[in-house]
Chain A
Amino acid sequence: MAKVWAFVEETNGAPSSLGLELLTKARELGEVTVVYLGAGGDDAFSVLGDHGAAAVLHANAGDRLPSAPLAAALAERAAADSPELILLGQAYTDRDVAGRLAARLGVGVLSNASDVRLTDEGVETDHEIFGGAQVATAAMTGGPHIVLARPKSFPAEPTGGGAPTVETLELPDVGTSEAKVTESHVEEREGPQLGDAAVVVSGGRGLGSADAYELIEKLAKPLRAATGATRAIVDAGWVPYAKQVGQTGKTVKPDVYIAAGISGAMQHLVGMKDSGTIIAINKDPDAPIFSVADLGIVGDVHKVLPQLIEALANR
């Protein structure tokens, strides 16, 4: 059976949901070892076991920026264990570790994968391109194969497995590549979060100004929705990067997605087109967003949104 490593990062003291998605996929493909980054502990490890991990390599970077030391440790371990596939997510630390590890091993990285398969020749991955209109299938020879999968590509499913064996992975000194994390700030988490909200309301350039983003927030409130944004208005500095939905931002799959003043650039579509129901409001009748919308309103967001907000308030 193929050896597969799945990278799971700890967030808020527990395995991240992305990590559990990767673990679920990995156990389909072969014999899984989880590379776990964080403080760890029996509770965290039992969640990994419950999702099918038999073995865990546990690394705790403390106040060190983890990417360089973890990549160094994993490169050495990979030389000894020869995993066929190292599966990580399209996320901050995952990308850092994958990039450094790949450069150390002299292998490529297949990024933004929506699916991954092992074949006789190596590994095959699917990538949604052009906003999800087409799927590119890529093949990589050599190995080990390092793949970054987009969040929400696979469901996280428990198997009811028992506690895994846990081995501590020592992180070496990396000399001139060392960096320190001196403070961690958790920004005020107001209301529902993009990753797990049942409803998402997003705004784009069609809002016209940063101030008009208030309409998005006002609509989100009664719907208990998370608020999102296009890359264009993030780049323009109207809202923080954390709200960006799309290729270079977050992938969301809520039950209902409301796109206001969003034209539907490829970059944005790939991050939201798998939502349950899509409602779009845009004044351009030819906007690409209408090609994925279940309900499309050709109209001015400055008229429709205030009416909608008022109608919800009067209920």
Chain B
Amino acid sequence: MKVVVCVKQIPDPATPYSLEEGTHWLIRPAEQVLDDTDRYGVEMGLQLAQANEGTVALVSMGPSGNAQGIRQALAMGADKAVIIEDDGLRGSDALTTARVLAKAIEGEGYDLVIAGTESTDGYAGVVPQMLAELLGVPALTFATSVEADGGAVTIHRQTVDGYDVVVTDLPAVVSVTAGVVEPRYPTFKGIMDAKKKPVETVSLSDLGVETNETQQVASITEAPERQAGRKIEDEGEAFSEIVALLEERKVI
């Protein structure tokens, strides 16, 4: 089984994000990290590939920088990576992202494509669905569990009040929620091996995709700020302040 996992390198979420003047695009440092949500997709892909004598290729769009985030995913055990990197992709919307990924995935060949439900930095949350439409396959989304054999895939799809069991034939796109599996930590051997694994960088013209952006951020304004209230240090009695406020609000 050929498994392709979509991964993204993002600015470290522990650092403050800032936007470029004029374009309002997110500023991306050379040093980016693997989006934490992608570790679930990588782990899921590795487990399914192992159970079905398969391989796992990573596909990623964006400035590669030092590719540290991609190496993190390779260190978990993925076999190879393809990075689509092009100045023409700066500020891409979800549809352009999906078109680029679809082209790269078709070139790679696949039985199953796995992605997170949304990235942490852009969170449009529609790329897996667009990808599926462009590939002409089903999108089994918001999976909290995934099982696949050579011919079919079954997921538990998160719903508002529970879950649905959804089944389809391969090939398919599956988007996974955090917690679908417990991601492994890379071993020392994994980290060393990752340095030798193939990382291919391709451009828009290599893929033959043209971009056509229809969206732009027109302005950024400060939101009305919520006023902070009282802040008190707990010296053993602070709970009574909470009780008093709950009484005042007629909750109790």
A binds B: yes
Q: Interface of A with B (CB < 8 Å)?
A: 11-12, 16, 65, 67-68, 71, 90-92, 95-96, 98-100, 102-104, 106-112, 124, 128-130, 132-142, 148, 175-187, 189, 198-199, 222-223, 231, 234-235, 237, 240-242, 247-248, 255-256, 258, 265, 267, 273, 276-277, 279, 281, 285, 290-300, 303-304, 307-308, 311-312, 315
Instruction: Tell whether, in the assembled complex, residue B177 and residue A241 are in contact, meaning their CB atoms are under 8 Å apart.
Output: yes
**Which chain B positions have C-beta within 8 A of A182?**
165-167
* Known interface pairs A291-B228, A295-B245; A137-B95 also in contact (CB < 8 Å): no
Known: A100-B129, A296-B228. 12 other contacts (CB 8 A): A100-B132, A103-B95, A103-B130, A109-B126, A134-B222, A176-B138, A183-B165, A256-B246, A265-B13, A297-B241, A311-B239, A312-B243
Instruction: Tell whether, in the assembled complex, residue B242 and residue A295 are in contact, meaning their CB atoms are under 8 Å apart.
Output: yes
Q: How many B residues touch A, CB cutoff 8 Å?
A: 82
Instruction: Tell whether, in the assembled complex, residue A132 and residue B129 are in contact, meaning their CB atoms are under 8 Å apart.
Output: no
Task: Kindly state whether residue B43 has any CB partner on chain A within 8 Å.
Answer: no
- Distance in Å: Cβ of A79 to nearest Cβ of chain B: 16
* Known interface pairs A108-B95, A142-B214, A298-B234; A185-B162 also in contact (CB < 8 Å): yes
User: Closest residue to A235 on the B side, CB-wise?
Assistant: B178
* Known interface pairs A90-B125, A99-B126, A298-B232; A180-B251 also in contact (CB < 8 Å): no
* Known interface pairs A111-B94, A111-B125, A138-B218; A296-B239 also in contact (CB < 8 Å): no
User: Closest residue to B95 on the A side, CB-wise?
Assistant: A108
Task: Kindly state whether residue B229 has any CB partner on chain A within 8 Å.
Answer: yes
Instruction: Tell whether, in the assembled complex, residue A108 and residue B251 are in contact, meaning their CB atoms are under 8 Å apart.
Output: no
Instruction: Tell whether, in the assembled complex, residue A273 and residue B216 are in contact, meaning their CB atoms are under 8 Å apart.
Output: no
**Which chain A positions have C-beta within 8 A of B221?**
134-135, 137
**Which chain A positions have C-beta within 8 A of B60?**
none
Instruction: Tell whether, in the assembled complex, residue B142 and residue A92 are in contact, meaning their CB atoms are under 8 Å apart.
Output: yes
**Which chain A positions have C-beta within 8 A of B128?**
99
Whole-angstrom CA separation of A110 from B168 in the bound complex: 29
**Which chain B positions have C-beta within 8 A of A185?**
162-165
> Which among B24, B125, B213 has the highest number of chain A CB atoms within 10 Å?
B125
Instruction: Tell whether, in the assembled complex, residue A189 and residue B161 are in contact, meaning their CB atoms are under 8 Å apart.
Output: yes
Instruction: Tell whether, in the assembled complex, residue A96 and residue B141 are in contact, meaning their CB atoms are under 8 Å apart.
Output: yes
